[in-house]
Structure 1
Amino acid sequence: MVDGTDAALLAVRPALKTEAEALIAAVQARAAERGVALPVAPEAPVSCCGRGCTDCVWAFFYSEVRYWRDEAVLRWSA
């Protein structure tokens, strides 16, 4: 069951590296509280051309973080 804390985590849509890192830390802390093991969190990219590409590695990373977060919530809600 999703409670208020879980709903708040699910509402986060990171658009900056610091936001993604904070979300990862919050999800890991919540999983630890619930005694749930999680897969390794996505790692931030190390290369970006800086030209604002449509398929930027950062956009993909933020999408990976959201998917990882969603899967984590499913694990501790089951």
Structure 2
Amino acid sequence: MGEDLLKLRTEFARLQALLAERGLTMRPPPTEPTTCCGRGCNGCVWEGFYAAAAYWLEQARECLDAADPA
């Protein structure tokens, strides 16, 4: 989970910088869970976080694409 999380944080920061640079606003990316027990539960809070993160990334990229002049 460590390397994936680092890559995700980096991509969040990169897209947020691009959005700000272009004057676009969007909700902040999802926050990382703080309640994981580490037992690999079915339906772990990290599964929900990664699903929400993927959706945020998709929406951010769509926002940037829509703002690009054709």
Task: Determine if the TM-score, normalized by the shorter chain, exceeds 0.5.
Answer: yes
Q: Give structure 1 regions of 4+ aligned residues with deviation exceeding 6 angstroms.
A: none
Alignment RMSD (CA, Å): 1.6
Unaligned runs of 5+ in 1: 1-14
- CA radius of gyration, larger in: 2
Where relative contact order (Cα < 8 A, 6+ residues apart) is larger, the structure is 1
Identity of aligned residues (%): 38
In 1, Cα distance between equivalents of 2:55 and 2:36: 21
- Size of the aligned set, in residue pairs, is 64
In 1, Cα distance between equivalents of 2:61 and 2:9: 17
1:50 aligns with 2:30: no
1:23 aligns with 2:11: yes
1:12-38 CA-partner distances (Å, limit 9, x unpaired): xxx732222112111101212222111
Unaligned runs of 5+ in 2: none
